[in-house]
Structure 1
Amino acid sequence: MAYRVLFVCLGNICRSPMAEAVFRERVNAAGLQEAIEIDSAGTGDWHIGKPPHEGTRRLLDDKKISYAGMCARQLKPEDGRRFDLIVAMDGNNERDIRAAIGADAEAEVIRFLSVVPDSKLQDVPDPYYTGDFEETYALVCEGCDRLLERIRQSLA
C-alpha cells in the first residue's frame, strides 16, 4: 500500500497545489510514484473545482512542472483516515486541519517548514496575498526535497 501525503493551504489554489506538483515531480524522478501518493486540499471552500492560481500555473509552466488535472478541493474529515501525512502550509492551516479531521484521525499532521530545520520561517507565505510566487516556490522546493528524504527513510 502506498504512503499517502496531502498538502493543505487555505484555498488550494496557490501553495498546496504548487507543493503537490513539485513533490509529484520529485517522487516521479526518484521512481517512487508507486510507493507515494500525493494530493492537495484547502481548508476553505471558495475555490472548489478551480485550477491552480494563474501565478502558480505560470511559475510551474516556466519550470516545466505539470499540474495537469489539478483542481481545488476542500479538506474533508475522512482525509484524516485516508492519508498518512497531512502537511500544513502555515499555523492557521495546521489548526484548521486538526479541527476538521478530529482528534481520532490517524494521519500525522505537520507544518511544512518543520522539515526544513534551518529555515528562518515557520510558515510558507501565501502568494495570493504577497504576490511573491518565486519565494513560495523556493520554500516549496526545499521542503519537498527534505520531505522526500524523510519519507524515503521511513519506507526503507
Structure 2
Amino acid sequence: MISVLFVCLGNICRSPMAEAILRHQVEQAGLRDQIRVDSAGTGDWHIGAVPHEGTRKQLDRYLISYEGIRARQVQPNDFQAFTYVVGMDTSNMNNLKQWEGAAEGTTTLIPFMSLLPEEKGTDVPDPYFTGDFDETYRLVSAGCKQLLSRLVREHQLEM
C-alpha cells in the first residue's frame, strides 16, 4: 500500500487539511484500498487536538470529512512506515531531513510546493498566523490533486 504523511508545524491547520483533502480525492478516485493518508506536526503543542476551527470551516464548506483526524507529532518510525512524507514549508522540510537522517528512513521527502511549480513561494502559508484559510485551501487542494496524479502515474494505479 502507498502511504502519504503530510507534515506542518503543529498539525492543526495545513497538514490535517491536506490529509482530509487527499483522503477525499483518493476516495473519489476509488483508490482507498491502495493509498493511506495521515498527517503529523514537527511540534508537540497540539497533540490530540482536532483540526483548527478555520481548517474545519474550509473542509465543511467543500463537504470534506475530517473525521478521526487528531494532531500528533512526527515519530522516527514514520520514515519507514510512509512511502512519502510531504513537508508543508521549508522549516518543516529542514526538520524532516534531520529526523530522516537519524531514523535512516526509506521514505521519499517531498516539499509540498514542488507539486505546484507555477505558484510563487516555497511554503504553504500557515493560516494559524496569516488567518487566510481560503488561500491555504486553494494551494493544498491543487497540490493534493497533483500529488494524486503523481501517485497514480508512478505506481501505475487504475482509477
Q: TM-score, normalised by structure 1?
A: 0.97
1:30 maps to: 29
Following the alignment from structure 1 to structure 2, what is the Cα–Cα distance between the partners of residues 75 and 98? Answer: 12
2:13 maps to: 14
1:21-53: CA deviation from partner (whole Å, max 9, x where unpaired): 000010100001111000000000000000000
The residue matched to 2:95 in structure 1 has which SS?
helix
Following the alignment from structure 2 to structure 1, what is the Cα–Cα distance between the partners of residues 114 and 17? Answer: 18
2:155 maps to: 155
1:88 maps to: 87
1:43-90: CA deviation from partner (whole Å, max 9, x where unpaired): 000000000001101111111100001100000011001001000000
Following the alignment from structure 2 to structure 1, what is the Cα–Cα distance between the partners of residues 109 and 126? Answer: 19
Paired letter, 2:29: A
Paired letter, 2:119: S
The residue matched to 2:38 in structure 1 has which SS?
strand
Q: How does 1:92-131 map to 2 (within 5 A)?
A: 92-102=91-101, 104-131=104-131
Gaps of 5+ in 2: none
Q: Which segments of structure 1 move beyond 4 Å, counting only runs of 4 or more?
A: none
The answer to whether the 8 A contact 1:17-1:70 is kept is: yes
Following the alignment from structure 2 to structure 1, what is the Cα–Cα distance between the partners of residues 32 and 56? Answer: 22
Deviation at 1:114, TM superposition (A): 0.3
Q: TM-score, normalised by structure 2?
A: 0.95
What's the C-alpha RMSD, in Å, of the aligned pairs? 0.8
1:48 maps to: 47
1:78 maps to: 77
Deviation at 1:121, TM superposition (A): 1.9
Following the alignment from structure 1 to structure 2, what is the Cα–Cα distance between the partners of residues 53 and 146? Answer: 24
2:62 maps to: 63
Deviation at 1:101, TM superposition (A): 2.7
Gaps of 5+ in 1: none
Following the alignment from structure 1 to structure 2, what is the Cα–Cα distance between the partners of residues 142 and 113? Answer: 10
